[in-house]
Structure 1
Amino acid sequence: MNSEKVDELIKWDVSGNPDWMKRINLDEYEKLAGIGYTPQQIAMYYNIPVVEFEFYFQLVGSPLEYRYKRGQLLQQAKEGLNMAASATTGENVMQAQRFDKLRREMGYQNSVNQIFFGD
């Protein structure tokens, strides 16, 4: 199989976007990723077949994967900036700790699911 054919199979092609892409609010999608939901959980949230969503998520240059990682980064950066500001003023440290605990718990559960169930 030549490299052009392989590229065609594994790279995101905007002209072939699935119909369900229109249903995804990308700002909300990023927020769901930042909270700690897995791509599979987000697919279920938007009522998209998980296997189909995962296929498009794994493509090279996938905007789904990019926006997912961006959402995680934005949330982590926001938390870090807020915690840094709170540390200097002593304000709202408990809330940041609670949210961090929730995020860790979700990350732990997602890791367990990935190890045991391949999710």
Structure 2
Amino acid sequence: MKKALLYFALGTVLSFLINYFFYSSKNIGLDLYYALAFGFAWGIAYYLDTPNFSLPQKLGLSFLAMGVMVAIGTLIFNLEQAIPSVLKFSTVFVAYYLIASFRANKTLRD
């Protein structure tokens, strides 16, 4: 769990810094929200990367996490601005498991 929180924190900070310095949108709050979605995706992907969760459980929990991100984004901003968080989340989630698939043990935990 500690490493999952570390992945969350590092993903959030790196994403925010990249968005802030290279894309510099006018809305810092939205940049922070997208960075949190990015970090949340890395943290959840790492947390679920264990044989304790079946593939349907991983899929269900990832969809639940995306739903939570959209709900929070819709409450704070609007649905139109919340949807890109799903794209960031799902891209990171797929990238995590794609990178893991190249390893012999199919996980990034070891």
TM-score strictly above 0.5? no
Q: TM-score, normalised by structure 1?
A: 0.35
Q: Which has the larger radius of gyration?
A: 1
Please give the TM-score of this superposition, normalised by the length of structure 2: 0.37
